[in-house]
Copies of this chain bind each other. A is one copy, B any other.
Amino acid sequence: MKEFDEYISMVNNALANLKLPSQPAGLYDPIRYSLEAGGKRLRPVLTLAACQAMGKEPITAIHQAIAIEMFHNFTLLHDDVMDNADVRRGRPTVHKKWNQETAILSGDAMLTTSTMLLAIKAGDHLSEALELFNGTAMNIYEGQQYDMDFEKRMDVTVEEYMEMIRLKTSVLLGCACGMGALMADAPFETQVQFFNYGVNLGLAFQLQDDYLDTYGNPETFGKAIGGDILNDKKTWLLIMALREDKTGTLSEIIGSDIEPSEKIDRVRKIYDSLQLPDRIHELIRAYIDTAIACLDHIDMMPEARTFFIDLALKSATRKS
């Protein structure tokens, strides 16, 4: 197995060698801009690592890995238009730097390009790879739709929330892992275990994101703390607090126009009083344990197992 950073280098090299056309610049420049922004590259690394864990050179799955990264960046681009977000990874979003038409059209081109990449050297696995990829994409759109639907609702249950983040965020990590196993000719059962590992890792990852948005250190987290609270975003923390806060104070704070820093402070105090920081960490740990348990059903070298266990443990304790 390679180090995490070595896989990242492989991914960045492959993306740099993509050779997108130069014209029309209005279509292709925003794609280059999105890909150059970096990011964790977690998904393509999972694909390459799963492929290597199953005994094949990681390069075997490089096109499928960057297909998934391209797809991920497409979803960010279109989500930013839908959420009217100004900043992504410290830079203006595409629709702010260019305009909305450009953001929509470049995103469409990224989605088609991701399918093209997926097919390169897929060989006998093309049909299965497409099925996994397209099925995952549909789940992600469904998750995004539920996320938008939840904005208008105050009665979202924690079960509905977990299903939403499973669709919107987690299945793509599952797809990334399963894709690596598929490209390495692993049996279907093994692909499913890798998929489940990724989904549980993804759930833990999103819950940690919810936690960091409210409790993170602004210096390591990389963005302002409390954005979810200010937007009344239906996160695990808010949904649990709405369910358990019998005083009605929280419902009063939500939607009121209290001064921002005071709103963050007051909501956080309610979360604290319900021990939500400890409880979300218990839940994150449970998903990490479930992810790691999936690895027990996969026949692989100890160093590969260690790679995936370490990755899961790091996700649960990450600060950024």
Q: Which residues of A contact B (CB under 8 A)?
A: 21, 24, 26-27, 78, 81-82, 100-101, 104-105, 107-109, 111-113, 115-116, 119, 126-127, 130-131, 134, 137-138, 141-142, 144-146, 148-149
5 cross-chain CB contacts under 8 A: A27-B142, A78-B105, A108-B108, A119-B127, A119-B130
Cα separation A30 to B15 with both chains bound (whole Å): 34
Contact of A149 among B26, B81, B108, B141 (CB under 8 A): B26
Q: In angstroms, how far is the closest chain B Cβ from the Cβ of A20?
A: 10
Cα separation A116 to B115 with both chains bound (whole Å): 11
8 closest cross-chain pairs (CB), A and B:
A27-B145, A82-B101, A24-B145, A112-B137, A109-B141, A116-B134, A26-B145, A119-B130
Where chain A touches its partner, the secondary structure class is helix
Contact of A138 among B81, B112, B131 (CB under 8 A): B112
Q: In angstroms, how far is the closest chain B Cβ from the Cβ of A114?
A: 10
Which of chain B's residues has its CB closest to A119's CB? B130
Which of chain B's residues has its CB closest to A71's CB? B112
A149 CB contacts on chain B under 8 angstroms: 24, 26
Cα separation A144 to B106 with both chains bound (whole Å): 11
Cα separation A142 to B127 with both chains bound (whole Å): 27
Contact status of A104 and B81, CB under 8 A, knowing A24-B145, A24-B149, A134-B112: yes
A105 CB contacts on chain B under 8 angstroms: 78, 82, 141, 144-145, 148
A127 CB contacts on chain B under 8 angstroms: 119, 126
Contact status of A141 and B112, CB under 8 A, knowing A26-B149, A131-B119: yes
A119 CB contacts on chain B under 8 angstroms: 127, 130-131, 134
Q: In angstroms, how far is the closest chain B Cβ from the Cβ of A26?
A: 5
Q: In angstroms, how far is the closest chain B Cβ from the Cβ of A210?
A: 21
Q: In angstroms, how far is the closest chain B Cβ from the Cβ of A94?
A: 13
A146 CB contacts on chain B under 8 angstroms: 24
Cα separation A138 to B78 with both chains bound (whole Å): 18
Which of chain B's residues has its CB closest to A111's CB? B111
Q: In angstroms, how far is the closest chain B Cβ from the Cβ of A240?
A: 23
